[in-house]
Amino acid sequence: MQDNKVDVVTLGESMILFQSYNQGALQYEPLFTKSLAGAESNVAIGLSRLGKKVRWVGRLGSDPFGDLVLTTLAGEGVDVSHALRDPEAPTAVYFKDFKRCGDPAVYYYRKGSAASRLAPDMIDETWLQGAGHLHVTGITPALGEHTAAAVRKLMELAREKGLTVSFDPNLRRKLWSEEQARETLLSLIPLCDIFMPGDEEAEFLLGPQEIEAYGRAFLDMGPKVVAMKLGAEGSIGFTQETVVRADPFPVERLIDTVGAGDAFASGLLSVLLDRREELSTGLGEESLHEALCRANLLGSMATQFKGDWEGLPTLAEVRTIQGGQKQVTR
């Protein structure tokens, strides 16, 4: 009998990422590499490498790029058996431009994609079968006319079925208006148990405040845990009982910051999922600190590789690094 139990279900759009081979300006670069990209699939791969069973759900075109998404995720141990294919709409693509200083510029070609057609009537409760947790981001609600309602319906269904829910706002200003983004993201926060904003996203949602004020405000909306990314300053976590800070891990060679927030999410969830009972009874300071430290480590590692998920570590590698052991390479 097939085991359908999974630790995490995640819903979102996976795309094909094209990057210039020589990291030159897009208009002059003749050679490109292609890979899988997407916040939710990044988290799925990160959690799978950390020993969790993950199911990714999304809509893809019936095209070679959709095939690549599925084979890549399946190759990373992610369950893609519930993915939907659309014969009329394409799999989305996007490009990174490395010619600028700092973060690369990103150009999306996802309007009218298969994922943008997601609607509430497509939500299937079998997606959550055998699952203990749902992870969603604020990207999917921005993709199409009905995608926000679809995400809301799945979050509500997960809570009805007793799953815990995590929500990363993952603000993408290029996808929708600021007013619509703020209204939608704020409306989804009460439906999650774990909320994972960055400090800039917190300011976007609530206006300028002290960091601790953000934590209290978000907790008052309903989440049991708020884990805030502070960039080079590490992270801070909030529950009704405690506030915990975790120092950053050093970045030896900054290459690409895209995907760092998704790596943070997978690191955080990999610890908190082992403590789901604590989420309902009150997460302890030690558990929250452990989760933040692992999240900071994965976020740091993600910035040191080209690509959104390729540098994510296995659980054995994480334990080696956090244990201070030197890895034997030859």
Query: What is d(CA 246, CA 230) in angstroms, rounded to the nearest whole number?
Result: 10
> Given its phi and psi angles, is residue 170 left (phi above 0), alpha (psi -120 to 50 degrees) or beta?
left
Query: What is d(CA 123, CA 157) in angstroms, rounded to the nearest whole number?
Result: 9
Count CB atoms within 10 A of the CB of residue 251.
16
Active site residue 262: yes
Two structure tokens written together for 56: 């990714």
Q: Which of 79, 193, 256, 262 is catalytic?
A: 262
Query: What is d(CA 204, CA 260) in angstroms, rounded to the nearest whole number?
Result: 19
CB 116 within 8 A of CB 140: no
Query: What is d(CA 181, CA 166) in angstroms, rounded to the nearest whole number?
Result: 18
Contacts of 110 (CB under 8 A, 6+ apart): 13, 15, 92, 93, 94, 116, 143
CB 288 within 8 A of CB 239: yes
Instruction: Please give the DSSP secondary-structure letter assigned to residue 79.
Output: B
Of residues 229, 41, 72, the one with CA closest to residue 139: 41
Question: Which residues carry out catalysis?
Answer: 262
